[in-house]
Amino acid sequence: MFERELLMIPGPTNVAPSVLRAMGKPPLSHTSLEFASKFKEALNSLKRVFMTEGEVFVVAGSGTLALEMAIANIVEPGDKVLNAVSGFFGQYFVDMCRVYGAVPRLLEVPYGMAVKPEQVKEALKEGGFKAVTVTHVETSTGVANPIKEIGEVVKKYSDVFYIVDTVCSLGGMEVRVDDWGIDVCVSCSQKCIGVPPGLALVAVSQKVLEYLEKRETPVGSWYGSFNNWLPVMQDPTKYFATPPVNMIYALHEALRIVLDEGLENRFKRHHVLAEVFRDAMEALNLKIVAERGYEADTVTAIYYPEGVNDNQFRNEMKNRGIVVASTLGPLKGKGFRVGHMGNVNQNDVISTISAIEATLKHLGYNINLGRGVKAANIF
Ligand SMILES: Cc1ncc(COP(=O)(O)O)c(C=O)c1O
């Protein structure tokens, strides 16, 4: 109505005006030197964000395409894959593995719990795995799985590929692709990076590129084949399929913002705002879905108090100018999710807490107005 909604959903997130302006420029020829140099700069910045010296890929598509590229390129029919599933998005890898003919072995934990490295260690003892998949931040529950520690376990198996979904963490929480031994790290544009939806972002290790040279069966996706895109990523004047020129302008500008802030500062900002938000929810006696000690700094899922209707709650929040998300899968209707990532600031978080209080009061929940805001000790 006012063109001024505050998006506090776990992506898409609020986009900086300079990124929108970059997107609004006339498209250049996708193979021109001028565009290629912008694209190359964006790829180099992205390497810094992934903390990798390996290859990075930027392809038109959403995060789901990035996940699918990982599976399509790594698995061959009959391969056994260990899928660590802690919620809705962890299951994506399982379904994709089946589509590409792999045999998934599920390591599943209940919604709200994190997958522990010891569980991965135990599961890998069965032997014969081609890959392990893990979701860093499980957006459906707000759990951050310990991908660094799981990486330590996977590293002991030199023939196993470590595939990690950082769709809801890259640029907001620490992700060290090279140090943590991640072979395929997948993400997207519309969450912590602060670009509208439309780009799949992928980092790929040397081990994967070597494997692709000698893979026995062809990769089951033409558009998603790393080998088809590699020449373009190395020299963007080359053509394989037309890159989304204006989205790459946007990425270029958004990564400039990310790196100007500095990754460490950015992680700290996300952490402080997440803690503040959780403190406020607890002060309102609301229960957080994520198990203690494994809460994500980018998104929080919260259970409704008894009797609160999901649609009513989110509509009332929207009437106050703040958009929050529903919970997913078995938690559908039982809670709501707030994304606090990307270009989020303390005003956004305080406004959200205040709107949650007012909305709950409006819906009849006995609440001490101001209690959450007071607990959000941001100073
Ligand atoms: C952890 C995670 N993985 C994968 C996806 C799928 O990404 P997309 O919706 O961009 O296809 C999402 C989307 O929210 C996500 O949160």
Residues of the chain with pLDDT > 90, as a percent, come to: 97
pLDDT category at 2 given cuts 50, 70, 90 is low
Instruction: Name the burial class of residue 118, with classes exposed (0-12), middle (13-18) and buried (19+) by CB atoms within 10 angstroms of its CB.
Output: exposed
Predicted pLDDT of residue 377: 77
Structure confidence by residue, pLDDT tens digits, 30-46: 999 999 999 999 999 99
Atom of ligand 1 nearest to the CA of 65: 11
Give the residue numbers spanning the domain of 181: 17-260
Structure confidence by residue, pLDDT tens digits, 250-298: 999 999 999 999 999 999 999 999 999 999 999 999 999 999 999 999 9
Q: How far apart, in Å, are the Cα atoms of 87 and each of 63, 112, 210, 216?
A: 16, 8, 32, 33
304 in any annotated domain: yes
* Residue 335 and residue 196 share a domain: no
1 in any annotated domain: no
Which pTM value belongs to this model? 0.98
Rounded distance between C-alpha atoms, residue 118 and residue 248, angstroms: 40
Q: Determine contact, residues 147/164, Cβ cutoff 8 Å.
A: yes
SS (H, E, C) 282-327: HHCCCCECCCCCCECCCEEEEECCCCCCHHHHHHHHHHCCEECEEC
Predicted pLDDT of residue 191: 98
Ligand 1 center to residue 163 CA distance, Å? 15
Predicted pLDDT of residue 1: 54
Which of 212, 239, 260 terminates a domain? The answer is 260
Query: Residue 167: is its pLDDT beyond 60?
Result: yes
Ligand 1 center to residue 248 CA distance, Å? 20
Atom of ligand 1 nearest to the CA of 197: 10
Range 218-235 average pLDDT = 98
Q: In this structure, are strands 322-323 and 6-7 parallel, antiparallel, or unpaired? A: parallel
* Ligand 1 site, CB within 6 A: 11, 62-64, 67, 89, 92, 135, 139, 165, 167-168, 188
pLDDT category at 4 given cuts 50, 70, 90 is confident
* Residue 362 and residue 236 share a domain: no
Range 89-97 average pLDDT = 98
> Structural domain tally of the chain?
2
Question: Pocket of ligand 1, candidates 88, 89, 138: which has the most ligand atoms within 8 Å of its Cβ, to mutate?
Answer: 89
* Residue 255 and residue 351 share a domain: no
Ligand 1 center to residue 65 CA distance, Å? 9
Range 168-174 average pLDDT = 98
Which of 216, 245, 260 terminates a domain? The answer is 260
Question: Pocket of ligand 1, candidates 167, 175, 185: which has the most ligand atoms within 8 Å of its Cβ, to mutate?
Answer: 167
